[in-house]
Amino acid sequence: MTPCEIRQLKRSIRKSIVAEATEDDRYQARTSAIALLEHSVQRRHKRLAVIRFAAAIRTGATIRLANWKYCEEALASVGDDKLRQLVIDAIDGVTENPAIGL
């Protein structure tokens, strides 16, 4: 994945945050979040994978069990409370806003 492709995927996620986001914007955000997460997991970027894991959760994306487990293990090995809170906040945001499609 090229840096340009990564930037485009990140833009897609940001575009879905606004109130005017369409269902297509939200679908693209979920797809982009998963692509970025899988890229980070494949590259074994622990911290970045956890950040992208939280982003995927926030978009309402369906996360493969293998990626979920990798991120759990990465989070435990990194031992960063801020990263842990980022994931907790993402999960809390999804449970408080069921309209995002879970």
Domains in the chain: boundaries = 3-100
Instruction: With H, G, I as helix, E, B as strand and everything else as coil, classify residue 18.
Output: coil
pLDDT in tens, 42-60: 999 999 999 999 999 999 9
Residues 48, 87: Cα–Cα separation, whole Å: 12
pLDDT of residue 17: 79
State pTM to two decimals.
Answer: 0.84
pLDDT in tens, 66-94: 999 999 999 999 889 999 999 999 988 87
| Total number of residues shown for the chain | 102
Determine whether 2 is exposed, middle or buried from the number of CB atoms within 10 Å of its CB (0-12, 13-18, 19+).
exposed
